[in-house]
Amino acid sequence: MTGTAFTPRVFSGIQPSGGLTLGNYLGALKRFVDMQDADTHECVFCVVDLHAITVWQNPEDLTRQTREIAAAFLAAGIDPAKAILFNQSQAPEHAQLGWLFSCIARMGWMRRMTQWKDKAGKNSEEASLGLFAYPALMAADILVHHATHVPVGDDQKQHLELTRDVAAKFNHDYGVDFFPITEPVIGGPAARVMSLRDGTKKMSKSDPSDMSRINLSDDADAIAQKFRKARTDPEPLPDSYEGLKDRPEARNLVDILAALQDRTPEDVMSEVAGQGWGQFKPHLAEVAVETMGPITAEMNRLLADPAEIDRILADGAERASAIAAPILARTFDIMGMVRRA
Ligand code: TYM
């Protein structure tokens, strides 16, 4: 920990690399709204378009997806009067600090990242340099705002550890106490929402099977069908949550219901113990449709006026730069860059 007192500030980001899934909603977006509404932190939320282009993005798709993710933030309850919402490329301080951090982070740190290994796969020689350096830019996103807390799903844990390492190495190398050692905020039943086809894989927008995930854009019929076909074992639900320990698919569905209803999985189990899937799955689908239906409808309403979304993003970018520019300027000073008088 550093000795400096930092303003309590939340930062988090979502890539506009496709539509959002129920995993993104429960693991991230819903928790962002809770943190905003708790009024305990300044909140800064970002559509990370510079991260999205670490793999190929068709330009028109990128534009559309950026507005869609922004609309999803708003529809889920992010209030631009309370929180800052912007897209990363509009606040140039992110990319600038990203470069500085590429000179702080070590090749070995990057090579250990499981997401790099997963995404680059066997073909790493063909992966972009940006995909490799991705976590340095992510550290910059967080630290250019001196964020103290970062709510994310479990899959981002390693990147947040690297962010702490970057901050600590910078502070150590330059003999300062300048960057905060950020706290990850990971937890609850939705920290890792799993695929509906395979309980050992996370639910992901890039999974080739659409049946593996619930998309924020799915209608009620699609949601009901996907839960109906979700893979499970033949056993009915046990008496307690403990009994789901070795039943990943079953546990995932209980966790999803708990997260949707803001309950603990243990509490859910006290109600559904002994139920068969024919009873549980339609109930889960109903709850999911009730929660997500209004969000999807509001998203579509907002997307009918892209100019208004662009205005909100531009305003957010200005406010984000107002926080980030002095922090970046101070970083340049610490590193010894000669700056314009
Ligand atoms: P991304 O765009 O892949 O996902 C956005 C958020 O959704 C969470 N998430 C999940 N949570 C639970 N279960 C799942 N199946 C699931 N799938 C995704 C992710 O953990 C994430 O919180 N590198 C980040 C974006 C980023 C960022 C940042 C995040 C860039 N800069 C700074 C925080 C702070 C990413 O690719 O998220």
245 counts as catalytic: no
Catalytic annotation present for 157: no
- Helices 93-102 and 129-143 meet at what angle, rounded to 10? 110
111-134 pLDDT per residue, tens: 999 999 999 988 899 999 999 999
Ligand 1 mutation target, pool 48, 53, 251, most atoms within 8 A of CB: 48
CA of 13 to the centre of ligand 1 (A): 7
How far is the CA of 250 from the CAs of 238, 244, 292, in angstroms?
Answer: 10, 7, 21
Residue nearest to atom 18 of ligand 1 (CA): 24
Catalytic residue among 119, 201, 226, 281: 119
**Quick one: which of 153, 139, 16, 133 has its CA closest to 86?**
16
User: Coil, strand, or helix at residue 123?
Assistant: helix
Supply the pTM of this predicted model. Answer: 0.97
Choose among 143, 94, 163, 11: nearest CA to 321.
94
Binding pocket residue ranges, ligand 1, CB within 6 Å:
11-15, 23-24, 27-28, 48, 51, 138, 141-142, 150, 152-153, 155-156, 159, 190, 192-193, 202-203
For residue range 278-334, what is the model confidence (pLDDT) as tens digits?
Answer: 999 999 999 999 999 999 999 999 999 999 999 999 999 999 999 999 999 999 999
Sheet with 42-47, side-by-side order of all strands: 84-87, 42-47, 9-14, 149-151, 183-185
Contact 176, 158 (CB under 8 A): no
Atom number of ligand 1 nearest to Cα 191: 12
Residue found under tokens 């990319």: 95
Tokens of residue 85, six digits? 């919402």
195 C-alpha to ligand 1 centroid (Å): 15
Q: What is the pLDDT of residue 2?
A: 64
Residue 1 reports pLDDT greater than 60: no
Length of the chain: 341
Q: Show Cβ contacts of residue 36 under 8 Å, excluding neighbours closer than 6 positions.
A: 10, 43, 77, 78, 79, 82, 83
Measured CA angle at 92 (ends 87, 97), to 5 deg: 110
Q: How confident is the model at residue 185 (pLDDT cuts 50, 70, 90)?
A: very high
Q: In angstroms, what is the span from residue 221 Cα to ligand 1's centroid?
A: 27
Are the beta carbons of 46 and 28 closer than 8 angstroms?
no
Tens digit of pLDDT for each residue in 52-101? Answer: 999 999 999 999 999 999 999 999 999 999 999 999 999 999 999 999 99
Domains of the chain, each with CATH number or no CATH: 9-185+305-335 (3.40.50.620), 210-300 (1.10.240.10)
Closest Cα partner for 150 from 188, 179, 192, 185? Answer: 185
User: What is the Å distance from ligand 1's center to 74 Cα?
Assistant: 17
- What gap in Å lies between CA 140 and CA 168, rounded to an integer? 13
How far is residue 153's CA from residue 188's CA, in Å, rounded to a whole number? 10
Q: Is 119 a catalytic residue?
A: yes
* Centre of ligand 1 from the C-alpha of residue 109, in Å: 20
